[in-house]
């Protein structure tokens, strides 16, 4: 999966979590995704984690 696709799916998952009532640590999820999703793609994505798993993992710390 490309980094671009990974980041888009990560963003989509964050949007889903926000609509479900999660409170994000930032105002703009798009900017947040651009800042953190590439790191998840490089580190955990290459180990087989899905973007959704990475977004869930990240949101667990909110």
Question: Per the structure, how many domains does the chain have?
Answer: 1
What is the rounded distance in angstroms from the CA atom of residue 16 to the CA atom of residue 47? 24
Range of the domain at 9: 3-59
Q: What is the pLDDT of residues 30-60, one digit of tens each?
A: 999 999 999 999 999 999 999 999 999 999 9
Structure tokens at 30: 């798009």
Cβ proximity of 41 and 7 under 8 Å: yes
pLDDT of 22 higher than 90: no
With cut-offs at 50, 70 and 90, classify the pLDDT of residue 25: confident
Q: What is the pLDDT of residues 7-16, one digit of tens each?
A: 999 999 999 9
């Amino acid at each position: 999966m490309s980094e671009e696709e990974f980041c888009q799916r990560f963003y989509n998952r964050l949007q889903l979590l926000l609509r479900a009532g999660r409170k994000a640590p930032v105002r703009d999820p798009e900017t947040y995704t651009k800042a953190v999703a590439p790191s998840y793609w490089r580190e955990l994505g290459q180990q087989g984690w899905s973007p959704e798993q990475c977004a869930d993992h990240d949101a667990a710390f909110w």
